[in-house]
Amino acid sequence: MLLVVSADVSQQNFNESGTVIMERQTARRTPSKVAQMPESPPACVNLAKDLTARCRARALQLMDDEILSITQDLDSVIQNLCDYIGRIPTSALGSNAYTDVAVKALPVRGFLEDDMLTNAVNMPNRRSFHDSNMPRLVEFLQGMYRESDEFEGQMFRSLPKVSEYIEPLYDALFCPLTNEVMTDPVLTESGVTYERRAIEEYFKRFASSSETVSCPVTKMPLQSKTLTSNASLKSVIAEWTMRNEAMRIRIARTALSWSSEAMVLEAIHELMSLVKLRGKNREQMHKIGVTRFLARLLDNHNVQIRRSALELLCLLVEDEEGKDIIGKTKAIARTIKLLPSNGTDEKHAAISFLLELSKSQSLLEDIGSTAGSILILTTMKINESDDPIAALKAGEVLKNLENCSKNIKYMAENGYLEPLQSHLVEGSEEMQMEMVSYLSELVLEQELNIDISGSTSIVLIKMVHSCNTVMRKAALDVLVQLSSHRPNSKTLVEAGVVLVMVEELFIRKVDDEPLIYKAMAAAVLANVVDSGIDPDTTVVNKEGHVLTSKYSIYNFVHMLKCFMPDELNLSVIRVLLSLTAQAKPLAAVVSVVRENHRGHSIVELMSSRTEALGVAATRLLITLSAHMGHTIAERLCKTQGQPRRLVRSIIHAGRAAITERHAASVTLLSRLPYRNVSLNLALVHEGAVPAILAGIEEMRNGAARRSRHAVPYVEGLVGTLVRLTATLYNPDVLKAAMDHDFASVLTDLLARAAGSGEVRRLAAVGLENLSYHSIKLSRPPPEDESRPKKMTILKRLKDARVHNHNSKNPPLNICPVHRGMCSPATTFCLLEAGAVEGLLVCLENDDARVVDAALGALCTLVDDRVDVEKGVLALVEHDAARRVLAVLRQHRENSLWHKCFSVVEKLLVHGDDGCVREVTGDRMLPTALVSAFQRGDANAKQAAESILRRLHKMPDYSATYVSMEF
Alpha-carbon torsion angle 146, 147, 149, 154, nearest 10:
50
Check the CA dihedral 877-881-882-884 and report its sign: positive
Is 492 in contact with 505 (CB distance < 8 Å)?
A: no
- How many CB atoms sit inside 10 A of residue 130's CB? 9
pLDDT < 50: residue spans in the chain? 1-39, 60, 90-157, 784-794, 796-797, 800, 803, 805-809, 812, 960-966
Q: What is the pLDDT of residue 280?
A: 87
Domains annotated on the chain, with CATH: 52-82 (no CATH), 177-227 (3.30.40.10), 238-415 (1.25.10.10), 430-495 (no CATH), 499-627 (1.25.10.10), 639-727 (no CATH), 741-780+814-878 (no CATH), 888-957 (no CATH)
- How many CB atoms sit inside 10 A of residue 611's CB? 12
SS (H, E, C) 891-938: CCCHHHHHHHHHHHHHHHHHCCHHHHHHHHCCCHHHHHHHHHHHHCCH
Residue 467 has phi, psi (to 5 degrees) of: -80, -15
Q: What is the pLDDT of residue 127?
A: 31
Task: State how far the Cα of 601 lies from the Cα of 562, in Å rounded to an integer.
Answer: 7
Indicate the SS3 state at residue 863. Answer: coil
Is 578 in contact with 526 (CB distance < 8 Å)?
A: yes
Task: State how far the Cα of 640 lies from the Cα of 148, in Å rounded to an integer.
Answer: 103
CA distances from 949 to 22, 331, 884, 959 (A): 141, 99, 20, 11
Task: State how far the Cα of 604 lies from the Cα of 618, in Å rounded to an integer.
Answer: 10
CA angle 838, 842, 844 (to 5 degrees): 130
Which stretch of DSSP H or E encloses residue 958? Answer: none
Indicate the SS3 state at residue 489. Answer: helix
Q: What is the pLDDT of residue 413?
A: 82
Give me the amino acid identity at 651. I
Say which DSSP state 360 is in.
Answer: -
* Close Cβ partners of 597 (under 8 Å, ≥ 6 residues apart): none
Is 352 in contact with 310 (CB distance < 8 Å)?
A: yes
Q: What is the pLDDT of residue 33?
A: 35
Task: State how far the Cα of 580 lies from the Cα of 879, in Å rounded to an integer.
Answer: 46
Alpha-carbon torsion angle 114, 116, 121, 123, nearest 10:
-80
Give me the amino acid identity at 754. A
Q: What is the pLDDT of residue 945?
A: 86
Task: State how far the Cα of 914 lies from the Cα of 873, in Å rounded to an integer.
Answer: 12
Task: State how far the Cα of 350 lies from the Cα of 549, in Å rounded to an integer.
Answer: 62
CA distances from 509 to 312, 462, 514, 524, 561 (A): 65, 17, 10, 18, 17
Task: State how far the Cα of 732 lies from the Cα of 411, in Å rounded to an integer.
Answer: 68
Task: State how far the Cα of 231 lies from the Cα of 238, in Å rounded to an integer.
Answer: 10
The end-to-end CA distance of the chain, in Å, is 173
Task: State how far the Cα of 893 lies from the Cα of 507, in Å rounded to an integer.
Answer: 52
Give me the amino acid identity at 392. L
Task: State how far the Cα of 875 lies from the Cα of 790, in Å rounded to an integer.
Answer: 35
CA distances from 572 to 37, 568, 648, 801, 815 (A): 104, 6, 27, 51, 57
Residue 134 has phi, psi (to 5 degrees) of: -125, 75
pLDDT digits (tens, 9 = 90+) for 656-682: 678 889 999 999 999 999 999 999 999
Is 286 in contact with 321 (CB distance < 8 Å)?
A: yes
pTM: 0.66
Q: What is the pLDDT of residue 890?
A: 87
CA angle 763, 767, 768 (to 5 degrees): 120
* Close Cβ partners of 345 (under 8 Å, ≥ 6 residues apart): 307
Indicate the SS3 state at residue 193. Answer: strand
Task: State how far the Cα of 232 lies from the Cα of 186, in Å rounded to an integer.
Answer: 10
Is 804 in contact with 742 (CB distance < 8 Å)?
A: no
Q: What is the pLDDT of residue 929?
A: 86
Q: What is the DSSP string of 596-658?
A: HTTHHHHHHHTT-SSHHHHHHHHHHHHHHHHHHHHHHHHHHHHSTTHHHHHHHHHHHHHHS--
Q: What is the pLDDT of residue 705?
A: 55
**Which string of b and e fits 622-643 if b means at least 16 CB within 10 Å?**
bbbbebbbebbbbbbbebeebb
Task: State how far the Cα of 495 lies from the Cα of 477, in Å rounded to an integer.
Answer: 17
Q: What is the pLDDT of residue 126?
A: 32
**Which of 327, 335, 341, 271 is closest to 297 using CA atoms?**
335
Is 185 in contact with 234 (CB distance < 8 Å)?
A: yes
Q: What is the DSSP string of 427-450?
A: S-HHHHHHHHHHHHHHHHHS----
Say which DSSP state 340 is in.
Answer: T
